Every structure is written in C-alpha cells, then in structure tokens.
Amino acid sequence: MLRAALIGTSSTGKTTLFQLMTHAPEVPRGKGDVNIGISRVPDLRLDTLTAMYNPRKRVPATIEFADLAAPPRTGAGAQALVDVVAYKTADALVHVVRAFKNPAVPHPVGTIDPARDAQTMEDELILADLGVAERRLERLDKDLKKTRSADLEQERDLLQRCREALETGTPLRALQLPVADLKRLRGFQLLSAKPLLLVINVDEADLPTVGASVERAAEQTGLTGFLARAATRAVALCATIELEIAQLEPHDAAAFLSDLGLKESGLDRVIRATYDLLGYISFFTVGDDECRAWSIARGTSAQEAAGEIHSDIQRGFIRAEVVAYQRLIARGSMQASREHGEVRLEGKEHIVQDGDIINFRFAT
C-alpha cells in the first residue's frame, strides 16, 4: 500500500484535507498524536470490470494518509517528524500550503505567502535531515577507526555527498540518486529525499481561475519555481468546499464541480497526483469472487507484482496470464480474448503495464 504523510503549519487546512481524503470524522487530538486514514484510489477501469464480472467484492487500490497534530514541542517544526514512524516510512510527503485569506483564521506569522511557507518547510526538512546525516557520519567515523569496511566506506561517501547538498540548502530528492544509493539511504528515511506534493489550498473565489490549472495556481501563489524541481508536483483546491462537495449525492456533487469549472474532485486530483509523483500504476485481478486493483511501481516485474498479492504466489511463480485492459473490454470476456490470442503467457521478468489484467499461475 502507498503511504503519504501530510505536513504543513497550523491554519493551512491540513486536517480538513485529511478528513476529505480519508472520510475520517474530526476528533480532538493532543499534540503529537498521529491520525492514520485510508483513501480509495478512483479508477473507472475497476468500475467497468466490476460491471462486467459482477463479483461479490470490489476492492480498489488504496493510499494510507497520516496526519500529525501540532508538534509536541513548540517550534520543533520538521524535526518533530524525524522519529514519527508514519512519517519515516511514508513514500511521499503532502505539504498543504495556505493560499486562502480568512481573517477568522489568522496565519501563524500574520501574512499569507505560499512561496515563503513552502520554502520554510523545505528548509526545515533539510535541517532535520542534516542532523540525521551528521549523527550517522560521526558514528561511521568511529566505526571505521576500529575496522575497515568497504560497505561502511561507501555509506560514508554517500552520506558526505548528502551532507554537502543539505548544507547548500538542496533537498535530497533534487540529487536524483541512483537506485543503489537510494537503497543505502532507505534505512535513514530522510525526509527531504521523499517526493513532495504541494497542495495549494486556495479561496473558493479562486477556484474557477486556478482550480483546473496547476500552472495558473502556481503562478498566482509564487510557487512556479517549486514545480520545476525534481520529484515535486502540485494540486490546487479549496479544502473546505471540497469537503462540502464530498458530502453531497454524486449527481449534486458533479453539478457543483461543473459550476466551479472542475472535471473531478480534489480528492481524485490529489490521489492521481500522488500516483504520478511516485510513478505508480495499477494492475487488476478479476473473477466472480472479486475484482481488485493493485498498486505497483512502474517497471515492476510480473514476479514482483505477484508478491503484492501474496508472498507464496511470488515464491511459487510459474507464469502470468496477461491481457491488456482495452483488449478485454473490446472483446467483452476473457474467453473471447483467449480465442483471439490476446491472452499472453508471460514469464517472471515481464514488466507489468498499467491496466494489465493478470492471473498468476503458481505452485506452493
């Protein structure tokens, strides 16, 4: 399951967005408390497959969202996130940036400046990571004085490069490190290395002009420079209005969105942007019992995808029966797709494509 963690200062609408994404009720929380909620990934393809098979269960892909209440220490900022498991293990960070003006909800520093707030949070993430890197380097220096180790030396060299970048104010996601280096860093769960989604929380009056255009929203809020950075995306929405829309009947919600010039809800746009940011795709398993969508990283092999369902299927993998979604829908059934030679037998190295319908053959 994908995991994303919400960050942002107070009075940004972060908790409202969490409620929107997870349909969680608003509950009193103490400082440092973490709320965890699950959001279903919208996918019209799963709806179509469900209508085709009429299964007993329809199971969409999901994303887990975490929302930390006010940090346990005033002024702790991103440093308070370093030891929070839900943030350390998150695949991406979702930074809710305030662009709405509401005198009844004063900004912590008095003025509305999305670019300033986004950079301040980025700086805090960088400082938090710098502390982690420096502490580990100190330990490595001590260990290397006792014994020489090629692995430890490679780790030290990598962390030194990271420290140099952090000291210049560069987030680690901007380094676009190779996979081998990312694996070495995984244990440290460095915050500035995680992909970043900016959620620009605008006024309702701004929705018709910026809600459907991230570029316009970024230009209006001074965040254009952020969109040019590596592993960074943005979505513009009005969290309070989106929360109201989410409570309407589907027909009324669609009409409301249309009036605002939007084709889909903020919930859907945030989830799609998170998928795009992380480079994730979906494959499907279908049948009379269940139609289910599964989330995997783009470039995942068939054997690795089997492991998303169950480790036994991955270990006992024999072959994958694969048909493309469009082919299956065009033929109307799996049997018709077989008769036209469109169901392929693929080996463990086959790279799963977005929308593949797969049946795994395996032996235990």
Cβ contact 92:195 at 8 Å: yes
The top-level CATH class assigned to 299-362 is alpha beta
Sign (positive/negative) of CA torsion 136, 138, 143, 148? positive
pLDDT tens, the chain, 364 aa long: 889 999 998 889 998 999 888 887 665 555 568 899 999 998 999 999 999 999 999 999 999 999 987 654 444 567 778 778 888 899 999 999 999 999 889 998 889 999 999 999 999 999 999 999 999 999 999 999 888 889 999 999 999 999 999 999 999 999 989 988 988 998 899 999 999 999 999 988 888 777 668 888 899 899 999 988 999 999 999 998 988 888 899 899 989 888 888 888 888 889 889 988 999 999 999 999 999 999 999 999 999 999 999 999 999 999 999 999 999 999 999 999 999 999 999 999 999 999 999 999 999 8
Domain range summary for the chain, segments of one domain joined by +: 2-278, 299-362
Fold agreement (2-278, 299-362):
no
Cβ burial of 199 (10 Å; 0-12, 13-18, 19+) is buried
The gap from C-alpha 193 to its chain's centroid, in whole angstroms, comes to 13
Q: 31 to each of 21, 117, 124, 179, how far by Cα in Å?
A: 21, 21, 19, 36
Give SS3 for 169. Answer: coil
CATH number of the domain at 2-278, please? Answer: 3.40.50.300
Q: Model pTM? A: 0.89
> How far, CA to CA in Å, does 360 sit from each of 218, 223, 357?
44, 45, 10
Q: How far is CA 328 from the centre of its chain?
A: 29
Q: Which two tokens stand for residue 253?
A: 């919600």
- Identify which of 237, 241, 270, 265 has the alpha carbon closest to the alpha carbon of residue 94: 270
User: Could you give the CA distance from residue 51 to residue 92 in angstroms, rounded to a whole number?
Assistant: 33
